[in-house]
Amino acid sequence: MKPEVLKNKIEILWKDMQKSFIRLYERWQDEKEYENWKDYEKYLLILFHLTLRKNKIKDVSFLKATKKPFGMTFEIYGIEIYFYVNSKSYNYKVVE
């Protein structure tokens, strides 16, 4: 796959998930003493799969969700991508 096509697919996923992803992070910051992380993992997985389906993106695998730092890792066409949010920034990067 051409790098620009891959970048476009990642950008579509990030833009579509960003708002919900940030809200989930903010809620986790407020409720982490009372709520179970496993529920957040499930929600991230559901959000991810719904976003993939909505945008008709295939050949993507959810790998893991992390609470500190708050993020999720997935693989798209053999490349690992990490979406993250913290108190200072939110973005994505290629996992080296």
Concatenate the DSSP letters of all residues of 79-93 into one string. EEEEEEE-SS-EEEE
Q: Are 60 and 79 in contact (CB under 8 A)?
A: no
For residue 60, the SS3 value is strand
Write out pLDDT tens, residues 12-63. 999 999 999 999 999 999 999 999 999 999 999 999 999 999 999 988 999 9
Range of the structural domain that residue 71 is part of: 3-94
Q: Are 64 and 73 in contact (CB under 8 A)?
A: yes
pTM: 0.88
Indicate the number of domains in the chain. Answer: 1
